[in-house]
């Protein structure tokens, strides 16, 4: 439960009264969710990454266990205004994924990270820090998006030699069993994710080649996107299996369907309901597909859409399908290049904010400030997640890169990290120091959940009245006259100590 809500509820119950703001009876009412993807934490810290305060001091001690380092880093994010954490679960990290340019070798995600063990612990740490959780079932052993949706290797083995229809049936059961198993393990830890998503950026479908949303001919087929026919019934079967499995364990969990960035096509032609995400959700709905929240990505580097355009796109989607929107991914450069001088992933292909927000720490903060402020003010967007805040640059003593977007085996058989394509878009700099962007989260959180809690105690020390206000000048001293007033301030990130523990019985608040 949100810390502010829990203390307000406790005080109100003790006093036999209700706080003035009735919205707080529902702990999620009016709360804008803002945060980022924390999946890479174990990977980065295990490879020597150090997260620091803006002044360069570390968030943890050198000799702390990795569990302590990870937990303290998660706590730091919560203390800087983040109340939302995305965690992406990869089925079998280490299994081969994308074919490399040599036509023989394959990229892969490093084994032992972003797996079940990592993600269950991250979810527990985020939950304990008071953050809401967006838990992504990647349903793949590798990166998944519109261009590639590799079926997990152990699921491939189950479908080997089976017919197309048999394979769809088997994969449907695999999704159901997998989601149910993970959700049960989360519940065993007392964690019930507020949101889950099934797959990642699935406009092309899921579990290729069975769950295609469009035909892929032999001429257009690639290693990662094999030949196949569109099959909305299979897509709906896969998603509904995960939906039902999640709800059986945690009925209040909301299921997100996440598509990639389509804001640009909407901005260029907002009247075209056949383009963008509208065709996808219409066909999915017609096939009987179920979802609770619409998820989209928004990257100004890859879209000609402004933040205002993104809000308009979200408004239109909510109007069309009646589902609230979570922006699952967004990002912005704080440096024009990676540390090695080459372009990062979000270099300016679509420089919609060129001349507005430059590639600098302050430029990144400015973009995020506008994004959070306008998203929160929208009538459709309930949350925004940054990708990737944690995937910082790490190098060894010889300058060798240690954290890459993927790994490969070099000529000597060594498991080698490729370049880190997002190290200049993280929320920490090349030395691991927190960037000014965190100030944008703090400022938005303070406006989002700023409360002054006034607890009134009688001469015997019994709590008899409570008031909750957004600002001190809203306090009504007359209604609590004769009581000793204890004032607690909620900043949106933490509860501050009482500001006037020495207040007198006259009711003076001494503020």
Angle (deg, nearest 10), helices 116-128 and 164-188: 40
DSSP letters of 348-398?
Answer: SSS-TTTTTS-SSHHHHHHHHHHHHHHHHHSSSEEEEEES-SS----B-TT
Could you report the per-residue pLDDT of 324-374, keeping only the tens digit for each?
A: 999 999 999 999 999 999 999 999 888 899 899 999 999 999 999 999 999
pLDDT-based confidence at 451, cuts 50/70/90? low
pLDDT at 501 over 50: no
pLDDT tens for residues 240-272?
A: 999 999 999 999 999 999 999 999 999 999 988
* pLDDT for residue 255: 98
More confident site: 412 or 299: 299
pLDDT-derived band at 392 (thresholds 50, 70, 90) equals very high
- pLDDT at residue 25 greater than cutoff 90: no
Instruction: Give residue 274's pLDDT.
Output: 80
Contact in structure between 146 and 204 (CB atoms under 8 Å): yes
Task: State the pLDDT at residue 15.
Answer: 52
pLDDT of residue 470: 65
Backbone angles phi, psi at 217, to 5 degrees: -75, 165
Q: How far apart are the first and last CA of the chain?
A: 29
- Domains of the chain, first to last: 1-30+450-511 (no CATH), 32-449 (3.20.20.80)
User: In this model, does residue 511 exceed pLDDT 60?
Assistant: no
Which of the four pLDDT bands, split at 50, 70 and 90, describes residue 3? very low
């Amino acid at each position: 439960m949100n810390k502010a809500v829990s203390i307000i509820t406790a005080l109100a119950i003790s006093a036999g009264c209700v706080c003035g703001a009735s919205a707080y009876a529902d702990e999620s009412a009016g709360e804008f969710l803002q945060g980022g993807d924390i999946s890479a934490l174990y990977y980065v810290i295990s490879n020597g990454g150090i997260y620091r305060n803006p002044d360069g001091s570390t968030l943890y001690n050198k000799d702390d266990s990795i569990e302590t380092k990870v937990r303290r880093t998660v706590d730091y994010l919560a203390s800087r205004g983040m109340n939302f954490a995305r965690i992406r679960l990869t089925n079998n990290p280490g299994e081969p994924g994308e074919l490399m340019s040599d036509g023989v070798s394959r990229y892969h995600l490093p084994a032992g990270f972003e797996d079940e063990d990592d993600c269950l612990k991250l979810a527990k740490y985020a939950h304990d820090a008071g953050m809401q959780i967006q838990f992504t079932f990647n349903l793949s052993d590798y990166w998944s998006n519109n261009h590639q949706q590799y079926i997990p290797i152990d699921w491939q083995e189950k479908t080997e030699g089976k017919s197309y229809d048999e394979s769809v049936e088997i994969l449907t059961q695999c999704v159901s069993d997998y989601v149910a198993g993970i959700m049960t393990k989360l519940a065993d830890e007392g964690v019930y994710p507020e949101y889950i998503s099934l797959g990642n950026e699935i406009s092309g479908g899921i579990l290729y080649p069975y769950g295609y949303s469009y035909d892929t001919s032999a001429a257009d087929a690639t290693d990662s996107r094999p030949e196949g026919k569109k099959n909305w019934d299979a897509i709906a079967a896969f998603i509904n299996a995960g939906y039902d499995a999640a709800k059986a364990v945690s009925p209040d969990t909301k299921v997100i369907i996440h598509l990639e960035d389509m804001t640009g096509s909407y901005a260029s032609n907002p009247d075209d309901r056949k383009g963008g995400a509208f065709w996808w959700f219409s066909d999915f709905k017609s096939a009987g597909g179920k979802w609770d929240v619409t998820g989209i990505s928004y990257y100004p580097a890859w879209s000609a859409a402004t933040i205002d355009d993104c809000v308009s796109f979200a408004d239109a989607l909510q109007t069309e399908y009646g589902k609230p929107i979570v922006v699952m991914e967004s990002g912005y450069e704080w440096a024009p290049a990676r540390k090695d001088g080459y372009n990062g992933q979000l270099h300016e292909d679509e420089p919609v904010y060129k001349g507005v927000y430059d590639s600098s720490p302050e430029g990144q903060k400015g973009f995020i400030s506008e994004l959070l402020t306008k998203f929160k003010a929208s009538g459709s967007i309930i949350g925004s997640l940054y990708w990737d805040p944690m995937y910082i640059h790490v190098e060894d003593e010889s300058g060798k890169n240690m954290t890459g977007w993927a790994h490969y085996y070099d000529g000597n058989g060594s498991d080698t990290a490729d370049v880190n394509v997002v190290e200049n878009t993280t929320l920490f700099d090349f030395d691991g120091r927190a960037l000014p962007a965190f100030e944008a989260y703090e400022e938005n959180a303070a406006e989002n959940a700023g409360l002054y809690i006034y607890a009134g105690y009688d001469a015997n020390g019994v709590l008899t009245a409570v008031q909750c206000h957004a600002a001190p000048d809203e306090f009504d001293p007359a209604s609590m006259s004769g009581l000793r007033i204890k004032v607690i301030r909620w900043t949106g990130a933490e509860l501050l100590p009482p500001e006037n523990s020495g207040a007198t019985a006259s009711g003076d608040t001494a503020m």
